[in-house]
């Protein structure tokens, strides 16, 4: 291949990839605009919150995948154009274009990798991206309501939030160790600064310091593990690594066991730190207490979601290699899943009044989305021991994390510390289906898909629950200047609407039946049951029981205890912007069960590409 063709290939690849990478690019542009607006004198009159909001809303709109047929998309023609222009000059076509006779291959579709294999663009990526960007939109609105970054520091804080979001999106879509590391760094380093947003406060600076030091250490260990893994497997590209690993184990060459084990363990340490899983959770309560409630929401939802995404990519990417390539069924599934994309998004886009009628259509399509009931990996394949090891490690960590988080939450008097331990516990619940998915790889492809889909559902529920709780904490902090649980005493008499919302969110966090938390948890437990991880299921159930009491204790203080005398008035009526914001987050939690079917279809679609 000539040098010139290489350039043409690279150009084509980056151009086609850029089109589906637009949301992140818009976020980056917003950062630059926020920076440049400080230069001119009139720039300070423009609200930085507004710019950040507009940027993230545009990014969210762009993250909805556009039409996937060449005729329907005018942009596809422009995409293909540079390639065809160059083709006239060079007689031999670049191999990729030559391979695909149809024009439809000229741009990226869900399921492809973009940027020459560095990033996966599939259902899971699309889901995480939408979740994260939507979260940023919601968070920015919350910040506008509570006014925590003041005028001076607004632009800085929003820049950090948007920058971290780009990092999160890299993490969840990474197909290469370099991207994973880059994503982790891009996500965590701005988070360290965010933890110290209120830079004049002693505890805020202490929180930032602890976060930064532990985080830097964890990142170092993770990089060392990555170097060992990449070196032992001869590549840093995840699919290639998985192939090489399968080959190594199949050949019975076991001299690299120790290297691989240590490398994998060190990567797991880094991920566990991001997830605040049990032995590496110690930063979490301190940072949550020191940082503001808004930043806590960011750390507990976005950061955890991205870390779970990366864990999924690693765990399934490294061990989900088929024993032999499945030719025909995979192609069929690919076709249906891309078709499904449109349907699902139609459902989500169209207003919810029509949802009931559309549910039938979705139900009809559901059979197509479901993958066939066959194992991804051959049951006697050489990767099965590796899968078992991964299941054991993640399962053990999940069990310990959940139990520890729930037990340690009991003694807390500060609501943010309590929520920190609650976050730890939920990270444990989120890790359970990952273990289940890996365990099901060698048994049942559809089951593994269900397990991953349960992560998706749980994250959707978790998004509303945790953001709602932290929003209430932030709003109450602005009124009563306290975050101690005892200061919440009898607050129901001043703002009953808010406490009702808080109650609903708390019940949902426990996982009581009609609420969103129940939906997610039920599905996770179903996946565990199917995977045969009965012990883990039992621990999860037991922990749900544990968690009832400390959540309800907060509610009890709010409702039953008498009001203290010295407290400043805390009334937040539900018919006000803050009240409506909280209500808007609570309503989906309450009624998510109604939309069981669309969510189920959507989550299954998001999970389907992972097993192609």
Partner 1 sequence: MVESLIENWGFPEWMAYLIAATIPCVLLLHVVAVGALFFIWLERKVSGRIQDRLGPTRVGGKYGWLQSLADGVKLISKEDLVPAGADSWLFRLAPYISVSCCLAAYLTIPFAYGWVAQNLDVAVFFVLAILGLEVFGVILAGYASGSKWSLLGGMREAAQVVSYEVPLGLCVVLPVMLAGSMNLTTIAQVQSGWFTSWLIFYNPFLFVTFWIFFTCALASVNRAPFDLAEAESELVAGFHTEYSGLRWSLFFLAEYGSMFSVSALAVLLFLGGWNGPIPITSWIGWTFEYGWFWGTLGNFVGLANFIFKCSLGIVLMMWVRWTLPRLRIDQVMTICLKYCLPLVCLMLLGNLMWPWIAGPPSASFVQKRYEAYQHLHPEPTTETEADEETTAESNSVAISLPQQVNEKQKVVLTTSSTTDSSLPLQTN
Partner 2 sequence: MDNILWHSVFFWAFAVITCGFAVMVVLSDNIVRMAVALIFSLSGAAGLFLLAGADFVGAMQLMIYVGGTLVLLIFGVMLTAQGPFISLKAGSGDWIIAVVMVGLSLAMLLPMAWSVPDWHGPAMGASETKTTKQTALQEEAEADQETVVVEHNVSVTEIGLSLVGVRTDLNQEDQESGQLPEGYLLPFEIVSVHLLVILIGAAYLARAKRPRKPTKYP
Partner 3 sequence: MFTQPIGVAHYLVVGAILFVCGIVCMTTKRNTIGILMGVELVLSAAILNFVAFSQPAFRVDQEASLGIDGHVFALFAIVLAAAEAAVALAIALNYYNNHSTIDVDRAQDLQG
Helix, strand and coil content of the chain, in percent to the nearest 5, comes to 75, 0, 20
Is the distance from CB of 280 to CB of 218 less than 8 angstroms?
Answer: yes
Based on the shown chain and the rule CB under 8 A, indicate whether residue 513 belongs to the binding site for partner 2. no
Q: How far is the CB of 177 from partner 1 (least distance, A)?
A: 23
Map the footprint of partner 1 across residues 2-31, applying CB under 8 A. Answer: 2-5, 7
Based on the shown chain and the rule CB under 8 A, indicate whether residue 36 belongs to the binding site for partner 1. no
Map residues 349-388 to x or -, x wherever contact with partner 2 holds by CB under 8 A. ----------------------------------------
Tokens of 34: 């926020």
Based on the shown chain and the rule CB under 8 A, indicate whether residue 99 belongs to the binding site for partner 2. yes
Residue of 315, 455, 449 lying closest to 375 (CA atoms) = 449
Based on the shown chain and the rule CB under 8 A, indicate whether residue 85 belongs to the binding site for partner 2. no
Helices 516-531, 577-591: crossing angle, 10 deg rounding: 40
d(CA 344, CA 603): 9
d(CA 519, CA 43): 47
Residue from 237, 368, 416, 477 in contact with partner 2 (CB under 8 A): 237
Map the footprint of partner 1 across residues 92-111, applying CB under 8 A. Answer: 92
Map residues 49-88 to x or -, x wherever contact with partner 1 holds by CB under 8 A. ----------------------------------------
Residue 574 CB contacts under 8 Å (≥ 6 apart), including other chains = 495, 497, 498, 501, 580, 582, 583
340 binds, among partner 1, partner 2, partner 3, none (CB under 5 to 8 A by kind): none
Instruction: Give the count of residues interacting with partner 3 (CB under 8 A).
Output: 45
Is the distance from CB of 240 to CB of 225 less than 8 angstroms?
Answer: no
Cα-based distances in Å from 461 to 173, 187, 311, 590, 597: 21, 22, 19, 10, 15
Residue from 95, 147, 231, 329 in contact with partner 3 (CB under 8 A): 231
CB atoms within 10 A of CB 261: 15
Residue from 89, 255, 324, 380 in contact with partner 1 (CB under 8 A): 89
Based on the shown chain and the rule CB under 8 A, indicate whether residue 367 belongs to the binding site for partner 1. no
What's the farthest any 2 CA atoms get from each other in the chain? 85
Map the footprint of partner 2 across residues 133-152, applying CB under 8 A. Answer: 152
Looking at beta carbons only, is 189 or 427 nearer to partner 3?
A: 189
Bridge partner list, 176: 237
- Cα torsion 441, 442, 447, 449 to 10°: value is 20
Residue of 131, 599, 61, 64 lying closest to 369 (CA atoms) = 599
Residue from 224, 261, 345, 522 in contact with partner 3 (CB under 8 A): 224
Stretch in the footprint of partner 3 (CB under 8 A) among 59-67, 78-86, 231-239, 596-604: 231-239
Tokens of 215: 């985080």
Tokens of 88: 């006239």
Based on the shown chain and the rule CB under 8 A, indicate whether residue 317 belongs to the binding site for partner 2. no
Residue from 234, 329, 411, 564 in contact with partner 3 (CB under 8 A): 234
89 binds, among partner 3, partner 1, partner 2, none (CB under 5 to 8 A by kind): partner 1
Please report, as ranges, the residues that interact with partner 3 according to CB under 8 A: 177-178, 181-182, 185, 189, 192-193, 196, 199-203, 205-210, 212-213, 216-217, 219-221, 223-224, 226-228, 230-231, 234-237, 282-286, 289-290
Site for partner 1, rule CB under 8 A: 2-5, 7, 89-92
């Amino acid at each position: 291949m000539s040098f010139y063709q290489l350039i043409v290939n690279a150009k084509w690849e980056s151009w086609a990839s850029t089109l589906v990478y637009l949301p992140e690019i818009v976020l980056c542009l917003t950062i630059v605009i926020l920076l440049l607006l400080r230069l001119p004198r009139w720039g300070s009159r423009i609200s930085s919150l507004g710019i950040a909001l507009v940027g993230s809303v545009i990014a969210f709109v762009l993250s909805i995948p556009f039409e996937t047929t060449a005729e329907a998309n005018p942009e596809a023609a422009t995409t293909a154009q540079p390639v065809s222009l160059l083709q006239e000059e060079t007689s031999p076509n670049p191999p990729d274009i030559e391979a695909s006779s149809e024009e439809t291959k000229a741009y990226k579709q869900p399921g492809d990798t973009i940027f020459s294999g560095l990033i996966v663009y599939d259902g899971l990526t699309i889901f995480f991206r939408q979740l994260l960007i939507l979260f940023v939109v919601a968070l920015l609105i919350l910040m506008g309501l509570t006014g925590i970054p003041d005028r001076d520091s607004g632009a800085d804080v929003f820049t950090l939030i948007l920058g971290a979001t780009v990092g999160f999106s890299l993490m969840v879509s990474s197909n290469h160790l370099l991207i994973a590391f880059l994503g982790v760094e891009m996500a965590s380093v701005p988070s360290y600064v965010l933890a110290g947003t209120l830079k004049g406060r002693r505890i805020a600076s202490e929180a930032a310091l602890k976060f930064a030091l532990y985080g830097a250490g964890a990142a170092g260990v993770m990089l060392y593990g990555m170097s060992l893994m990449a070196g032992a497997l001869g590549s840093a590209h995840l699919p290639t690594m998985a192939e090489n690993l399968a080959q190594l184990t199949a050949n019975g060459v076991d001299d690299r066991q120790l290297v691989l084990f240590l490398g994998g363990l060190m990567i797991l340490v880094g991920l566990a730190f991001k997830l605040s899983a049990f032995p590496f959770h110690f930063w979490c309560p301190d940072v949550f207490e020191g940082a503001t409630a808004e930043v806590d929401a960011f750390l507990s939802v976005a950061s955890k979601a991205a870390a779970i995404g990366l864990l999924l990519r690693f765990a399934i990417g490294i061990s989900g290699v088929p024993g032999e390539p499945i030719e025909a069924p995979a192609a069929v599934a690919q076709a249906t899943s891309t078709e499904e994309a449109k349907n699902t998004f139609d459902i989500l886009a169209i207003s919810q009044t029509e949802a009931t009628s559309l549910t039938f259509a979705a139900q009809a399509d559901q059979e197509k989305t479901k993958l066939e009931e066959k194992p991804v990996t051959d049951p006697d394949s050489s990767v099965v021991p590796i899968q078992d090891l991964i299941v054991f490690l993640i399962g053990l960590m999940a069990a310990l994390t959940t139990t520890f988080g729930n037990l340690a939450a009991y003694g807390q008097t500060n609501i943010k510390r309590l929520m920190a331990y609650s976050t730890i516990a939920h990270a444990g619940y989120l890790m359970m289906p990952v273990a289940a998915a890996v365990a099901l790889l060698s048994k049942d492809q559809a089951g593994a898909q269900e397990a991953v889909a349960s992560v998706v559902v749980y994250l959707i529920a978790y998004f509303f629950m945790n953001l709602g709780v932290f929003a209430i904490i932030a709003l109450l902090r602005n009124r009563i200047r306290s975050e101690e649980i005892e200061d919440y005493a009898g607050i129901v008499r001043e703002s009953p609407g808010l406490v009702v919302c808080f109650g609903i969110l708390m019940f949902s966090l426990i996982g009581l039946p009609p609420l969103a938390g129940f939906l997610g948890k039920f599905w996770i437990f179903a996946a565990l049951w199917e995977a045969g991880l009965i012990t883990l299921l039992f621990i999860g159930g037991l922990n749900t029981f544990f968690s009832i009491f400390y959540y309800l204790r907060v509610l009890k203080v709010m409702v039953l205890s008498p009001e203290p005398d010295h407290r400043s008035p805390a009334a937040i009526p539900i018919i006000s912007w803050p009240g409506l914001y909280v209500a808007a987050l609570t309503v989906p939690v309450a009624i998510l069960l109604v939309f069981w079917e669309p969510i189920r279809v959507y989550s299954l679609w998001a999970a389907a590409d992972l097993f192609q």
